[in-house]
Structure 1
Amino acid sequence: MIFKSYLNFGLLTNLFLMVFSNNFSYCQIINNNVIFNFKIDKFNFQKNITETTFEIINKSDKNFNANNWELHWNQMKGSIIRKSLPNGITFEYVNGEHYYKIYFGNNWKLDRGERISFKVNFHGIIDRKIMGPDGVFIVNNKIAFDIKLNTIWEKAEGIDLLEIPSSIELYNTYPNKIDDKSLNIDLLPTPDLIIYGNDNQSPIKGWNLKIDPFFQEKTTLINQLLTSFFDVKIRTDKSDDYNLIIKRKIDLEKESYTLEINTKSIEISSSDIFGVRHAIQSLRQIKFFHKDNSVGLPTLRIEDSPRFAYRGFLLDISRHFYSKDKILQVLDILSLLKLNYFELRLTDDEGWRIEIPNLPELTQIGAKRGYTENERDKLIPAYGSGANGSKNGNGFLSKNDFKDILVYANKLGIKVIPQISFPSHARSAIKAMEARYFNYMETGDIEKANEYLLTDFNDESQYRSAQGYNDNIICICFESSYKFYQKVFSEVKAMYDEANIKMEKFSIGADEVPFGAWKKSKVCQEKYGIDFNVSDLYLSNLKRLLTIIKERGVTMTGWEDILLVQSSQSQNEKNIRLEHFDYEPIPYVWNNTWGEGREDMIYKFANLGFKTVMSNSSAFYFDMSDNKDFENYGLNWSGYVDYFDTWAIDPLDIFSNQVLNSKHRLNQKYIDKTEKINPENLNNFLGIQSQLWTETVIDNEVFDELFMPNIIVFSERAWGKRPKWILSNNFEDQKSKMILDWEKFTSFIGGSFLPFITENFQIKYHLPKPGGKLIRNKLFLKTQFPGLKIRYTTDGSIPNMNSKVYSGPVVVKKRNVIYARSFDKSGRGGLITKIEQDGNY
């Protein structure tokens, strides 16, 4: 219907983007003949206002008549100042973070071939491009279509106050390159011990594989791993010439392994199949890093074991959807880096992403976004999804997709944890079940209409969630709400059973329940009295969820919020509730912004007796922008989190790194007030988990950029042993030793590991802007990961594959306009830096 309307629109040159999302085939049409120029005029820090100009250009062959057309978009920062709008133009804030509509009244027509412009001011500073308008579309005569967006910001007044890092600041931040011979790193994450021999392995044309009887039932799996990673013929002849031997060594800890490369054979020893997998992944890296060695692989012995039993990664596919194929690629990377848990955020306010049998509305409505008059057909736009859902705005995993993911993960030794949030972050489910309700009410089937209803239509409670919604909390006073969750949980559990995979953990999410929810719910008041206790109500809800999950032999997990006192502080509450649920739920502790007094919450839970996982937002959230660059993706509510923040933290004592304390302005008086984990409770600290929330992850390229090499750095902290320098009490001693390790680590990533990724995976990982400075007439350049190739130009042009390669300080002319850019081994270029003169020289 919409496609036909566009064809009738009579546009001369449209850009047609046919997008086939999983289980949805839809056409996204971007009308390049209608252009929205969003121009930032001034960053007014004194008044906390962003002053802008809206310009709309109509190059189409249609007129937009006054009182008959609207401009719609999403925007994450800045709220419109109503009085800044000209007469005849009004706006509506719809919901969330933020969905805006502008209505053009009298005297505001836009005929073909014309343009209009007007001033719009916003409360708050729109400090990065992704925080401003996105997914812009026009509704004309009730027909919605996406239009071209240009964000113009470079010449805005006050731009210097944004503190965008200069090329000099980047240069001063980036590590120095360490010569390959001095690295002492041969694979990642770094193993406990590598001992090199004096010889090299003789050329081996094929492997004859011998597997310990203990691992015989895993023979097919081991063969699959070896043949998928290595271009070597493998046989399993019963003879005496075995040269690839897999042994069981019972005294090794879980997941530990030894790997020996001898002159004529390779031996892997482990007590379990997990360790065997890890050894094969280590062998895979060693073979790649020595592939150009004409004398063969070096003889060596590796002894290795994980620091933490739980090493996880969470992917949010609700805000932006990513298909099975992308998830399988993610699992490949997790296995390579010896991570063993994959938590999948399947639902949130902005999308329901898994098929549930007999509840088709969850995906028919909850998995689609776009222009809608009543959300009976789809959810409202969010995070720039536009008129009819962007490439990653729509979509869901079918049952078969999810089971395929479970089977593939199991093959790689990775346990999948589904997360379906209840009762918070539930707007997609709420709106889907409302549509179901209205559809059945229209047929007169009242019982069916109410069967899974999640909404109290007479609820007058007032709240705003952390993401700005006032309707994203399930009514926990309805029995239908628990019938719904029981149904969803049972169907997801059935997918595990059908795949013959054990469900170990199930997350209820349940973070950021806003204060004020349920207080004026008519249903709750009728059931529990006018002055019912909300905290007791929520406690009862948690007990019911725990029972539903526990009865099926599964451990309930959730964010730490589930164990906090209900208060006006919502997710920022620090007091732990008295009810501990027999210490059965596992809290994942996420809300740990430096300086806000919650850094030690995980130690408090562990000391109380809870098994717990660190998900620290100021270290392990990949969606936190690494600096204030205007072109960066990601958020910054938990500060700016760079690669060093992830690598330098010690999970078991986050204040032990004095350099981090100094960076985040934490003094000893502040630290002395915090709680440490007691030695006898160390076993309660299960491990650490990284997260990629996808509010700003608008496409695959942004995904890859935020995922990699963040996940490499995280894996080092999850698997690698505690660095010795962390124990030093002397600031300068700790700093010097730490920086040397950091330089070695980043040099290995840039020089060896990222080329390995380029050759083995289709991942367009982050190529950070180079740092650089001019000292008099000499050019100095650095990159975040030394070893990445830097190309530069001196004529003001954008560096490309034919530009000069930087290999050391270069003499240039004073008036040269110099740009620099990092490149990967395939020739792909990253973002560009303009090099500035260092005023200190």
Structure 2
Amino acid sequence: MNKSVILMMLVAVLLGCEQVQQENSSAPDQSSQQQQLSPATQQDIDNIANHLNVSFELLSNHPQQKCQANMSDGLCYEAQLTLTAKQDIYARQWQIYYSQIAPLHNFDSTEFTLKHLNGDLHSLVPNDNFTGFKAGESKVITFRASYWSLAESDMMPNYIVTGNKLTARVIESTRAKIDADTEMEFVPYVKSYTDYQRQMKRTANDATPWLDSLGFYQRNLALGDELADVSKVIIPTPKSVTYPENKGKLSLASGLKIDFGNVAKAEVNVALERLAALGINTRPSGSLVKLNVEPDSKKVIGSYRLIISKRGIEITGVDSAGVFNGLQSLASLYQIGQDFVPYLSVDDQPLYEFRGMLVDVARNFRDKDFIIKLMDQMAAYKLNKLHLHMGEDEGWRLQIPGLPELTEVSSRRCLDFSEQHCLLPQLGAGISPDSSVNGYYTVEDYQEILRAATARHIQVIPSLDMPGHSRAAIKAMAARYQKYSQLEDNDKAEQYLLHDLNDITQYSSVQFYHDNTINACQESSYAFIKKVMSEVQKIHADAGQPLTRYHIGADETAGAWLASPVCQNFIANNDQGVTEMSQLGAYFVERVANMLADMGIEPAAWSDGLEHTHKENMPAVVQANAWDHLPWGAHQRVNELANRNWQVVLSIPDVTYFDFPYEADPKEHGYYWASRRTNTEKVFQFMPENLPAHAEFWLDRQDNPYVADDTIQRDEQGKVIHQPLQQGRTFLGVQGQLWSENVRTDNVAEYKIFPRIIALAERAWHKAKWAVPYNYAGYKYSQNTNIFTEQMQAERDQAWRIFANTIGQKELTKLDLAEVKYRLPTVGAKIAEGKLYANITFPGLTIQYQQNNGSWQQYRGPVAVTGEVQVRAVTSDGSRAGRKMSVVIE
């Protein structure tokens, strides 16, 4: 090869290298650009918080081929998070923390890593491939998470962005907002669910209807076209009412003159205050009201007689609670704007001794004013038990003298991974310790609640859940351990420790926590419980309402304790008859129940925590809250507990869980694991004395028929595994539940509770004539049996018509006066031949309509309309509206 050829080759190589260098300088590779991203500064964190738009879109509820097979039965939904930057974001080493009730299965992204951390808390972190955001640029992350998403309220607010040793901020686009018309919270970063097949159905077999305005209209037709006469209606319905032949009326225009007889004014003052709030004051010139207590051992406490005649009003109770209830019945008779009540005679007593409402203030806090306001309405409808749920995974809400860490640490959620100052921000809590979802009752606050309850003839049953659902307590005592360990006071550090420091057990609770179960083998666990219960007992005593019943919770976490050295040693060396880890849950419940009994306190607990206990090891009196799903055989567990002669309180989720939606619609707020549609009518239809009979007219959670077999059943060895209730066995009562995982405001809480609680009170107080009696011989119910006859159905539906009219014409106006933010029902409507026809679940409520986004007008009857038409309900004073619906043309 000659020199000229070699020279030419060298020139070509050099030219090629120069071209490659030019190309590289004009388009740097990904690793080079990554190096250009600087570690995030506080300014970057603030920029991301203020200028990163987050958007969530549900893609499908059944992408099974993409789900993780070993999670949630291989079921998942698929969704997209879209991140759009309004300004440049060229920073690395930042993280986003967000709440998602269903844990992550997997994700698709080259630039971000998603991870489930604990409970509902997840992280989103830019990885080494992250190239930053140009202004206006969007990046899409597709992910799968467990089970389904069927409601827009599934998505939590308050995504948190932070960096190394930087101050965390909430991403503004993820903050919750309040709808100006409904006054309800919503999360604006969630795109509306609009596709029935992809976003409304759980599975191919899901038959749940998504009602439009026409569907609601057709359903409401059963209520008739005319308003019913509700002037003589009392809610809850009395046992017996008679009317005189003259059918007269007593005027209340001049108020009431009270003769207290042998009744202390303090015992009935709250009922008189309610009458005054409705417009009926006490005056010397008013109609005479004679009050009296006449004990009668043959009648249930709270029973009463009410007589209204031309001579005035007489109320006689078997106790002061009975007189109180009689006054509330007078208030129920009264219709605002009509200054009279009919002559009648009422002889009344409750169906159930226990008529309760649970409020979960642990997940998201509700202050004492909310609780007292709620008790006002509970008393109005003769509910007498408040189950106050104050201890959970996400919060501890009661001050306990001597254990300040419980409220100093565990009454607040913020971003502190050490959890020495607050708990992690589960459930979209955000970063502010002063948020309304945080807080606790001081001793004085709680005693004020107790005194208010006593004045309303309500017993407060406190609950601080254990051994599961106890993360808040565990973390508080862990912080106490750290504090005293640093002071080298090991005795105090370990005095109330609730977890085994050397436990490496891996488990997951039903809410996906891996560290929320009190260790059942440590003596310090029981020392803690005794300390807490002693203090709560004293608080009650000092407030004048002795603590006679306490709800343990008794939830346990399957798989906890397996690798705990303390428990392994306990199993190997104990003399308590515990030989297997699977027996520890029952041991814990039995021991705590007897500890309470020794203190003079009756234990209560959830049915799943009680079912493994041995009756002979439990106290004589046990309250069992039965919470199983009807299509999954709830009656079987209920029967087993009742046949133990325990006091069963029906807490059936299908109908008494008020965190569930009113209607099957993605816009309706709430969880839905047992029911997509729990409206007031369904609560009214409940037959608490015969659970299996509901299979004749209710459907499962996918709106398919189910069978409830209440006959004697045996296993292959001939052992009885189910039998009907023993002859004469009954239940102690009924309880409604407001769990609060995604209930962050007082308005949403009241929306959930009201007006369903009125139907709950009806079923707890009054035995419906149309209800199917229980068959102690056993029966197998289905859609093909006909024990609930057509006549019974007709009687029930007519009773519902009167009840619905009473709510619409009388009760909701009273709730307006009390400033209760109840749910306004969705209006039914259609357009036929150019005219709008509308109706509503509660006749008497005001309906409004709107044409082409114009002004809202009151609907008074069929009216000609054009263009796009929407309808909604409004309160009696017009201050608040329900969710609007577009009207379907028939």
TM > 0.5:
yes
Q: Does 1:271 align with 2:318?
A: yes
Judging changes above 3 Å, is the alpha-carbon distance between structure 1 residues 256 and 236 closer, same or farther for their aligned structure 2 residues? Answer: farther
Q: For 1:835, give the aligned amino acid.
A: V
Alignment correspondent of 1:55? 82
What secondary structure sits across from 1:429 in the alignment? helix
Q: Which moved more, 1:303-312 or 1:190-199?
A: 190-199
Whichever residue aligns with residue 658 of structure 2, its letter is F
Which consecutive unaligned segments of at least 5 residues does structure 2 have? 1-40, 66-74, 175-188, 202-208, 713-721, 774-785
**% same residue:** 27
Pairwise CA RMSD of aligned residues? 3.0
**1:818 alignment partner in structure 2:** 869
Q: Is the 8 A contact 2:413 2:433 kept in 1?
A: yes
Partner residue of 2:446? 402
Aligned ranges 1:115-514 → 2 under 5 Å: 115-123=137-145, 124-141=147-164, 142-147=166-171, 148-149=173-174, 150-154=189-193, 159=198, 161-162=200-201, 164-174=210-220, 176-178=222-224, 179-183=226-230, 186-197=233-244, 198-201=247-250, 205=254, 207-213=256-262, 215=263, 218-223=264-269, 225-227=271-273, 229-230=275-276, 234=282, 243-251=288-296, 253=299, 254-287=301-334, 289=335, 291-293=337-339, 296-388=340-432, 391-511=435-555, 513-514=556-557
Once the two structures are overlaid, the 10-residue window that deviates more, 645-654 or 719-728, is: 719-728
Kindly indicate whether residue 847 of structure 2 is the aligned counterpart of residue 785 of structure 1: no
CA distance in 2, matches of 1:721, 1:669: 22
Q: Which moved more, 1:156-165 or 1:480-489?
A: 156-165
3-state SS, counterpart of residue 100 of structure 1 = strand
Cross-structure match for 1:830 = 882
1:517 to 560, 567, 574: 560
1:607 to 643, 652, 655: 643
Report the counterpart of residue 679 of structure 2 in structure 1. Answer: 642
Relative to structure 2, which stretch is displaced further, 466-475 or 388-397?
Answer: 388-397
Q: Which runs of 5+ in 1 are unaligned?
A: 1-6, 15-29, 566-575
Cα distance, 1:834–1:234 mapped onto 2, change above 3 Å: closer
The 1:538/1:111 distance shift into structure 2, 3 A limit, reads: closer
Once the two structures are superposed, residues 401-440 of structure 1 have per-residue CA deviations (whole angstroms, 9 ceiling, x without a partner) of: 0000001100110000001112111000111111111122
CA distance in 2, matches of 1:402, 1:189: 29
Equivalent residues of 1:185, 1:745 under 8 A apart: no
- 3-state SS, counterpart of residue 316 of structure 2: strand
Q: Deviations over 1:373-407 (max 9, x none)?
A: 22222111111112335833311111000000001
State the partner residue of 1:700: 746
User: Residue type of the partner of 1:343?
Assistant: H
Change (3 A) 1:313 1:772: same
Separation of aligned partners in 1, 2:804 and 2:239: 19
Within 5 Å, give how 1:35-74 maps onto structure 2: 35-45=53-63, 47=65, 50-59=77-86, 64-74=89-99
Kindly state the Cα deviation for residue 450 of structure 1 after the two structures are TM-superposed: 0.8
Structure 2 counterpart of 1:102:
124
Provide the secondary structure at the position in 1 that maps to 2:539: helix
The equivalent residue for 2:823 is 766
CA contact (8 A) 2:336 2:813 kept: no
Contact 1:200–1:298 under 8 Å retained in 2: yes
Partner of 1:588: 625
Does the C-alpha gap of structure 1 residues 223 and 824 become closer, same or farther in structure 2, counting only changes over 3 Å? closer
1:570-589 correspondence to structure 2 within 5 Å: 577=614, 579=616, 581-589=618-626
Deviation at 1:200, TM superposition (A): 2.7
The corresponding residue for 2:8 is: none
Separation (CA, whole Å) in 1 of partners of 2:616 and 2:356: 27
- Whether the 8 Å contact between 2:770 and 2:796 is mirrored in structure 1 is no
Moved more, 526-535 or 501-510: 526-535
Aligned-partner Cα distance in 2 for 1:138–1:109 = 18
Q: What TM-score do you get using the length of structure 2 for normalisation?
A: 0.82
State the one-letter code of the partner of 2:520: I
- Post-superposition, which runs of at least 4 consecutive aligned residues in structure 1 deviate over 6 A? none
Q: After superposition, where does 1:707-726 map in structure 2 within 5 Å?
A: 707-724=753-770, 726=772
Rg larger in structure: 2
2:259 aligned counterpart, secondary structure: strand
Code of the residue aligned with 2:606 in structure 1: it is: W
Please give the TM-score of this superposition, normalised by the length of structure 1: 0.87
Q: Secondary structure at the match of 1:496?
A: helix
Q: Which moved more, 1:148-157 or 1:188-197?
A: 148-157
CA distance in 1, matches of 2:664, 2:270: 45
The 2-side partners of 1:73 and 1:686 are apart by 42
SS in 2 for 1:755: helix
Mapped partners of 1:489, 1:52: distance in 2: 45
Classify 1:242/1:132 alpha carbon distance in 2 versus 1 (closer, same or farther; 3 Å): closer
1:653 maps to which of 676, 679, 690: 690
Deviation of residue 290 (structure 1)?
5.7
Q: CA deviation at 1:443?
A: 2.2
Per-residue deviation, 1:464: 1.1
Q: 1:526 aligns with which of 537, 551, 569?
A: 569
User: SS in structure 2 opposite 1:757?
Assistant: helix
Conserved 8 A contact 2:44-2:91: no
Residue from 729, 733, 738 that aligns with 2:791: 733
Per-residue Cα deviation, 1:688-715 (whole angstroms, up to 9, x for no partner): 1111100121211211110100111101
Q: Look up the equivalent residue of 2:290 and give its one-letter code.
A: I
* Contact 2:399/2:443 (<8 A) preserved: yes
SS at match of 1:438: helix
Q: How far apart, CA to CA, are the structure 2 residues paired with 1:66 and 1:705?
A: 43
Instruction: Please name the residue that 2:584 is paired with.
Output: 537
**Residues 188 and 102 (structure 1), Cα distance of their counterparts in 2 relative to 1, 3 Å cut:** same
Corresponding position of 2:776: none
CA distance in 2, matches of 1:256, 1:794: 52
Label 1:398 to 1:160 Cα distance change in 2 as closer, same or farther (>3 A): closer
Which residue identity does 2:787 align to in structure 1? N
Deviations, residues 97-135 of structure 1 (Å, cap 9, x unaligned): x21111113353656845432232214432221213432
Residues 563 and 587 in structure 1, CA contact (< 8 A), matched pair in contact too:
yes
Contact 2:414 2:432 in 1 (8 A): yes
Q: What is residue 748 of structure 1 aligned with on the other side?
A: 806
Measured in 2, the distance between the counterparts of 1:667 and 1:68 equals 53
CA distance in 2, matches of 1:308, 1:584: 17
Structure 1 window deviating more from structure 2 (718-727 vs 743-752): it is 718-727
Which of 840, 862, 865 in structure 2 is aligned with 1:809? 862
Q: Which residue of 2 aligns with 1:622?
A: 658
Whether the 8 Å CA contact 1:794–1:819 is kept in 2: the answer is: yes
Q: Deviations over 1:663-682 (max 9, x none)?
A: 76556673546644334223
- Determine whether 1:75 maps to 2:100: yes
Against the structure 1 CA distance between its residues 74 and 730, is the aligned structure 2 distance closer, same or farther, given a 3 Å change threshold? closer
Q: How far apart in 2 are the matches of 1:160 and 1:386?
A: 28
Q: In 2, are the aligned partners of 1:176 and 1:782 still within 8 Å (CA)? A: no
Q: Distance in 2 between matches of 1:255 and 1:133?
A: 43
CA offset digits 1:48-95 (Å, max 9, x no partner): 6544443334457xx75443211211011362523x122x31122111
Q: Which of 644, 669, 685 is the matching residue for 1:633?
A: 669
